[in-house]
Amino acid sequence: GAVVSQHPSWVICKSGTSVKIECRSLDFQATTMFWYRQFPKQSLMLMATSNEGSKATYEQGVEKDKFLINHASLTLSTLTVTSAHPEDSSFYICSANGLRGNTEAFFGQGTRLTVV
Amino acid sequence: AQTVTQSQPEMSVQEAETVTLSCTYDTSESDYYLFWYKQPPSRQMILVIRQEAYKQQNATENRFSVNFQKAAKSFSLKISDSQLGDAAMYFCAYRNGRYYGGATNKLIFGTGTLLAVQP
């Protein structure tokens, strides 16, 4: 199956700094990618939909100025957590849909963010 | 809006036995897909099985099968001959079938069922 690579797998940063997480589709083009946040033992919460060449669509309650999403190419989307605070510590996962008509979503391995 | 409900936060099964995880959903769409994803301790999401709503036949993948009841909007997962490696969080998910692009094709997840397998 298709591969989605997410980097880094884990990151520790200081409060007030920004952290960038990358999501790459390695062997297919992804016009749409999704960013999720997951708290321990809870479900995946969709944060935003990343659209290649256009602005991301954010879910209700997600601060777009806090979580910057850029989808500059058909194989790369980035999520930047700006001015991170301890409450931003979480597990972030990206997924990508395949070409039109492909029903399966492919997931990255996730990023564990810890803000100290 | 579509919703997915998993009413079993935790389940336990003996090794080699069979277990069924429940999932119900709500939608007004006629064309959609349903999925079961497994999330082991590594937290990598793994597709277990998928079902196209237009197909009447229940999907099967080796030891995994579903009972898809479209009228009842029910989509349960049966795991046969359970193995220790099946222990994980299982998520039921829904996706619209018609391709409109963008957020309209997002996955909608249930709250998950944590499955423990006892040796």
Question: Per residue in A56-86, pLDDT tens?
Answer: 999 999 999 999 999 888 899 999 999 999 9
Neighbours of A33 (CB within 10 A): 30
> Of B75, B72, B67, B115, which is closest to residue B94 (Cα–Cα)?
B75
- Does A91 score more than 70 pLDDT? yes
Q: What is the mean pLDDT of residues A4-22?
A: 97
CA dist list (Å): B21 to A32, A46, A98, B71, B75: 30, 23, 28, 19, 9
Instruction: Give the rounded percent of residues in chain A with a pLDDT score beyond 70.
Output: 94
| Arithmetic mean of pLDDT over chain B | 94
Asked if residue B51 lies in contact with residue B77, where contact means CB atoms within 8 angstroms, the answer is no
Task: List, for residues B64-103, the tens digit of each pLDDT value.
Answer: 999 999 999 999 999 999 999 999 999 999 998 766 666 6
| Averaged pLDDT score across all residues of chain A | 91
HEC letters along B31-82: CEEEEEEEECCCCCCEEEEEEECCCCCCCEECCEEEEEECCCCEEEEEECCC
Chain A partners within 8 Å of B35 (Cβ): 104
Contact between residue A29 and residue A74 where contact means Cβ atoms under 8 Å apart: yes
In this predicted structure, what is the pLDDT of residue A102? 61
Q: How many CB atoms lie within 10 A of CB B8?
A: 17
Which residues of chain A have a CB within 8 Å of the CB of B102?
A: 32, 49, 51, 57
pLDDT band at A88 (very low <50, low <70, confident <90, very high): very high
Q: How far is B48 from chain A (nearest CA, A)?
A: 11
Relative to beta strand A111-115, strand A105-107 is: unpaired
Spatial separation of the C-alpha atoms in residues A23 and A93, rounded to whole Å: 9
- Rounded Cα distance between A16 and A56, Å, is 23
Q: Which residues of A2-31 are buried (b: 16+ CB within 10 A; e: fewer)?
A: bebebeeeebebeeeeebebbbbbeebebb
Residues 6+ apart with CB under 8 A from B19: B11, B13, B78, B79, B82, B115
Task: Give yes or no for residue A100 having a pLDDT over 60.
Answer: no
Q: Per-residue pLDDT tens for B19-40?
A: 999 999 999 998 899 999 999 9
> So what's the pLDDT on residue A40?
87
Q: Report the 10 Å Cβ neighbour count for A83.
A: 12
Contact criterion met (CB below 8 Å) for A72 and A22 = no
- Interchain contact, A107 vs B33, CB within 8 Å: no
Specify whether the CB–CB gap between B23 and B9 falls below 8 A: no
**pLDDT at residue A2, as a whole number:** 76
Q: Is the pLDDT at B110 greater than 90, yes or no?
A: yes
**Residue B91 touches partner A, C-beta closer than 8 Å:** yes
How many CB contacts within 8 angstroms connect chain A with chain B?
A: 58
Assess B107–A contact: CB distance below 8 Å, yes or no: yes
Contact (CB, 8 A) for A113 and B60: no
